[in-house]
Amino acid sequence: MSRNEERRFLVLEAEATRDYGTTVLKAARHRHYASKEITAAALADELGERPDVEVLALLESDHRPVGLITREGLFALLGKPFGREVLGRTHAWELAIQAPVLDWHTSIFSAGTRDGAATVPYRILVDSARRFRAVLSTRDLNEHLSRITEEDIELAGRIQERLESGNEVLQGEQYKFEAWSRPAKGVGGDFWFTKKLQGGEIFFALFDVSGKGVAASLVVALVWGMLRMYDFRKGLSCLLVSLNEALVATFHLEKYLTGFFGIYDPNTGVLEAADMGHAHALVFREGQARKPGANGRNLPIGVEQAIDPVLQRWRLKRGDALFVYSDGIPEQENPEGSELGERRLAGLVLGILRRGRSLRETLPAALEQHRGAAPQQDDMSFILLNLDPGSESVPIQRAG
């Protein structure tokens, strides 16, 4: 066997081990190692033929690690004056850099939150007998966590789409609902819900969860599940109290939502509603837009241990329309930094209603025209209860 063939085996690779889904081993791609007794010059010669080796562990005879050698660091020493002569008289272990040692079963999520995790370039992964298994770089750890986050956001977005697509398309001889939602990112905090009750009444809600992303989607899923299973014979006030108790128990006052919750009876025209800190609703009647009663009396759901919701009741008549929307619509800026505003939004909606057009088909285009090249700053959602059955009708759905 030639000297080159012998040198090729100075750097070895640990056998791949079952990585399990959430352990640090899942993100570790460096498994190279060498004996701590080899000379630094011999190691440099082999790394010159192994461009794939970025970092390796130096091991005792029992496979316990003593430290790490990085390719960059070793070649920097080799490039110094008399570097090769010095490395030829130096054992590799004398150049080893120390790194934290982790059990390879450690959760990948806890590894990313340990003290100093962001400043440590590498970690050595070992088994229960302290034998070497792999080297985990902070870069690989962060990239893996980022992929997990992206996948979770994509999954949460798909789940949210499925939840909204399961909402009932509600329309009768004297009324119809329209709704639309567009998240600013992959997963939003806005959500709407409709359900026809056993007595013929219609329950509907639009709410805006604090924050965005996966955490907001958890709140949405919790509320959606409760709305689906709730016995509405207990009344609207009991529902809101139950929602508040569930949010407080689950998120400990760290997450909350504002929302408009209503039950409409098509037989009497009576609407019972609660504005839970939302304050984004308009009633259109005889060409005028107005706020539906006192909106500021209820706190958002999830900010207090206990609530006593104040409900409103009023009678809607033919030609009326109730428009509930999230703050992302009036607060959207155009390229010049000017917000759409409540007044302009009301004018847009009123004009669409007068023309008998579908709000879901027409208003989003007007919002896009206002936004222009400016980024969408927040989630946008609305739900419309229209008591003009002669106007154009389209199915309720979520925007793409």
**DSSP β-ladder status, 122-126 and 101-103:** parallel
Q: Are residues 239 and 104 in the same domain?
A: no
Instruction: Show the domain range for 81.
Output: 11-145
> DSSP readout, 19-58?
-TTTBGGGT--B-EEEETTSBHHHHHHHHHT-TT-SEEEE
Instruction: Tell whether 128 and 229 lie within a shared domain.
Output: no
Distance CA 321, CA 384 (A): 7
The verdict on residue 150 lying in a domain is no
210 shares a domain with 82 = no
Say which CATH number the domain at 242 has: 3.60.40.10
C-alpha to C-alpha distances, 298 to 29, 121, 156, 241, 322, nearest whole angstrom: 54, 51, 30, 12, 19
- Counting the structural domains of the chain, the total is 2
> Residue 398: pLDDT above 50?
no
Q: Of 70-79, 101-110, 246-255, which range is least confident?
A: 101-110
Average pLDDT, the chain: 87
Question: Is the domain of 120 the same as that of 192?
Answer: no
Pair 238, 378 in one domain:
yes
Average of pLDDT values for 286-297? 80
Q: Is 394 domain-assigned?
A: no
Tell me: the pLDDT tens digits for 181-223?
988 876 778 899 999 999 999 999 999 998 877 788 889 889 9
Task: Report the distance separating Cα 256 and Cα 164, nearest Å.
Answer: 20
The two three-digit tokens of residue 259, written as one number: 């929302």
Q: Provide the strand spans (E) within 217-298.
A: 257-264, 270-276, 281-285, 288-290
Residues 122 and 200 reside in one and the same domain: no
Instruction: Please answer whether residues 111 and 123 qualify as being in contact, where contact means their C-beta atoms are separated by less than 8 angstroms.
Output: yes
Bridge partners of 379, per DSSP, are none
User: Which tokens sit at 9?
Assistant: 């085996």
Q: Which comes out higher in pLDDT, residue 168 or 70? A: 70
Q: In this structure, is residue 156 part of a structural domain?
A: no
Give phi and psi for 355, each to the nearest 5: -80, -5
Structure confidence at residue 93 (pLDDT): 92
Structure tokens given for 123: 């970690």
Question: Residue 113: which CATH number?
Answer: 3.10.580.10
- φ, ψ (nearest 5 deg) of residue 173: -65, -30
Same domain, 198 and 347: yes
Alpha helices (runs of H) in 291-358, residue ranges in sequence order = 341-354
225 and 181 within one domain = yes
For residue 160, being part of any structural domain is answered with no
Residue 400 lies in a domain: no
pLDDT for the residue 149:
73
Q: Are residues 107 and 186 in the same domain?
A: no
Q: Evaluate whether residue 76 is within a structural domain.
A: yes
In a domain, 2, yes or no: no
The answer to whether residue 1 is domain-embedded is no
Q: Within this chain, do residues 221 and 342 fall inside the same structural domain, yes or no?
A: yes
Mean pLDDT of 101-111: 84
Q: What pLDDT was estimated at residue 4?
A: 45
Rounded distance between C-alpha atoms, residue 351 and residue 345, angstroms: 10
- Tell whether the model's pLDDT for residue 35 goes beyond 50: yes
pLDDT at 389 (0 to 100): 55
DSSP-derived secondary structure for 93-133: GGGPBP--EEETTSBHHHHTTSTTTTT--EEEEE-TT--EE
Say whether both 50 and 94 belong to one domain. yes
Residue whose C-alpha is closest to residue 330's, from 372, 286, 381: 381
- Same domain? 123 vs 233: no
| Sheet strands side by side (includes 12-13) | 12-13, 32-35, 55-59, 65-70
Per-residue tokens: 165: 């697509």
